[in-house]
């Protein structure tokens, strides 16, 4: 995200790090698995974003696979990275009806 976005969203500076002269990225607390420092809970059971209201636009833009009827390659790859199967339309009961 651009540094100005972080300021406008009032993101805690402790949660981000410099990516290049203009961009920041969320810090990770597990570099081997790229787990965002703001992610609370246990992956594979229940997780939530600890800064949901202030989350950057890139997070807002990433939708879960099939939540709105389309596959999300980024979602699938993130789940696979964490040892989870990609979501399917059946994971969204309302959409399956
Ligand atoms: S939505 Fe974004 S800020 Fe929130 S936990 Fe996920 S990666 Fe981190």
pLDDT at 96: 52
Exposure letters 43-62 (e unless 16+ CB within 10 A, then b): beeeeeeebeebbbeeeeee
pLDDT at 95: 52
- The whole-angstrom separation of Cα 50 and Cα 64 is 18
39 CB near ligand 1 (under 6 Å):
yes
pLDDT at 31: 76
> Which of 16, 28, 39 best tests ligand 1's pocket when mutated (most atoms within 8 Å of CB)?
39
51 CB near ligand 1 (under 6 Å):
yes
pTM of the full structure: 0.85
What are 28-73's pLDDT values in tens digits?
Answer: 987 777 899 999 999 989 999 999 999 999 999 999 999 999 999 9
Place of tokens 């964490």: 82
């Amino acid at each position: 995200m651009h540094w100005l976005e972080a300021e406008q969203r009032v993101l805690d500076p402790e949660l981000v790090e410099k990516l290049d002269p203009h961009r920041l990225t969320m810090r990770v607390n597990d570099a081997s698995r790229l787990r965002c420092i703001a992610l609370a809970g246990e992956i594979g059971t229940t997780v939530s974003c600890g800064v949901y209201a202030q989350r950057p636009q890139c997070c807002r833009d990433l939708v879960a696979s099939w939540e709105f009827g389309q596959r999300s390659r980024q979602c699938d790859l993130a789940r696979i990275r964490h040892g989870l199967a990609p979501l399917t339309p059946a994971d969204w009961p309302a959409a399956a009806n």
